[in-house]
Amino acid sequence: MVSLMIETNELISILPISLLAMFRLFTDILTFNRLNVEKRCIRFTTPQKIVGGVLYPLWIFFVWIENLSTKRGNILVMTSIGGINTIVAWWATIFVFNDEFTITKQQYTSLLARFIISAMWRWNNYLVFADQN
């Protein structure tokens, strides 16, 4: 039976995922040479603000739900939320890289590779972390 009760440590686990998201956004900005500094102040572009304010909070929530589903062995929720999570993370990376909300055909093709990688990670996580009751 799948438990619907959230444990304290599961709730607290949102904090490290949130920190991960902040660092991931900042490293994406640095990796793709999209850091804008004016008069010793960091200026975020509109796509960076939307990624940081909309996509990453969604990503945090989806990662958290996916992790709970993995722990509890709920394959249906794990795979469906995992797919959504993959798309949100892909959008975030593409929008920071392009610094606009357009996506090239080649980048759309990369989404297929992301789904394959994502599926392998989910399979591994399920085998390693799911409760064996």
CA nearest neighbour of 29 among 54, 50, 48: 48
pLDDT digits (tens, 9 = 90+) for 61-117: 999 999 998 888 888 998 999 999 999 999 999 999 999 999 999 999 999 999 999
State the Cα–Cα distance between residues 27 and 132, nearest whole angstrom.
36
CA 58 to chain centre: 8
Decide: pTM greater than 0.75: yes
**Are the CB atoms for 72 and 130 separated by under 8 Å?**
yes
